[in-house]
C-alpha cells in the first residue's frame, strides 16, 4: 500500500476521489460535489482532479448511467423516473437516452410486473381501484401508454 502524502493536497484529493469510486460509480457532478463538500479549501484542485479522472476513464457518466438504470429497473421503476433521477445527478440527455436504450428493457412487462407485485393478480373492476393503480404506476415513472396497456 502506498503512503498518503498529507502535505500535498493533490494526493489527498485524488486519494479521496479514488476511495469513493472504489465503492461505487458516481456521476461527474456528484463526485465533484462530494469532494468539494469534504475539501472546501481547494475547489479548483478538486475540479482538476475530477476532470483528470474522467480523462483517465476512472470516472464515467456512461458507466454510472448504466449502473443506475439497471438498479432502478430491478426495483421496478419506469423510464420517466429513471430519466429524472439521472438528470438530477448531472448526467447529459444523450447519455441517459443511450443507457435506457442499451438496457433493452420491455417497459410494458416491467409495468405489469410492478403492478402484480404490488396488487397481486386481482382484477380491478372499480374505477377507484383503476385510478389507484394508475397513480402507482405513474409514481413509479411509467409512461401513460404503458399504464393504459396494463389495463387492457
Domain-located, residue 3: no
Q: What is the CATH number of the domain that holds 32?
A: 1.10.10
Cα separation of 78 and 131, whole Å?
Answer: 18
Q: Residue 137 belongs to what domain range?
A: 107-150
Q: What is the pTM of this model?
A: 0.84
Which of 19, 34, 55 is the last residue in one of the domains? Answer: 55
Domain-located, residue 1: no
Q: What is the CATH number of the domain that holds 128?
A: 1.10.10.10
Domain-located, residue 130: yes
Q: How many domains does the chain have?
A: 3
Domain-located, residue 2: no
Provide the total of helices (H) and of strands (E) in the chain, helices listed first.
9, 0
How confident is the model at residue 69, as a pLDDT?
96
Tens-place pLDDT, residues 25-39: 999 999 999 999 988
Domain-located, residue 142: yes
Using a 10 angstrom Cβ sphere, with 0-12 exposed, 13-18 middle and 19 or more buried, the burial of residue 99 is buried
Q: And the C-alpha cell for 141?
A: 415513472
- What mean pLDDT do residues 76-105 have? 95
Domain match, 120 and 138 both: yes
Tens-place pLDDT, residues 45-86: 889 999 999 999 999 999 999 999 999 999 999 999 999 999
Domain match, 98 and 70 both: yes
Amino acid at each position: 500500500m502506498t503512503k498518503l502524502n498529507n502535505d500535498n493536497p493533490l494526493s489527498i484529493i485524488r486519494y479521496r476521489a479514488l476511495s469513493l469510486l472504489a465503492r461505487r460509480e458516481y456521476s461527474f457532478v456528484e463526485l465533484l460535489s462530494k469532494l468539494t463538500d469534504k475539501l472546501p479549501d481547494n475547489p479548483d484542485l478538486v475540479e482538476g482532479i475530477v476532470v483528470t479522472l474522467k480523462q483517465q476513464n476512472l470516472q464515467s457518466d456512461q458507466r454510472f448511467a448504466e449502473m443506475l438504470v439497471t438498479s432502478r429497473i430491478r426495483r421496478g421503476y419506469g423510464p420517466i423516473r429513471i430519466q429524472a433521477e439521472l438528470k438530477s445527478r448531472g448526467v447529459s440527455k444523450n447519455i441517459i437516452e443511450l443507457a435506457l436504450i442499451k438496457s433493452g428493457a420491455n417497459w410494458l412487462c416491467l409495468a405489469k410486473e410492478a403492478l402484480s407485485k404490488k396488487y397481486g393478480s386481482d382484477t380491478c373492476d372499480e374505477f377507484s381501484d383503476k385510478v389507484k393503480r394508475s397513480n402507482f404506476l405513474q409514481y413509479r415513472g411509467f409512461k401513460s401508454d404503458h399504464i393504459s396497456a396494463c389495463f387492457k
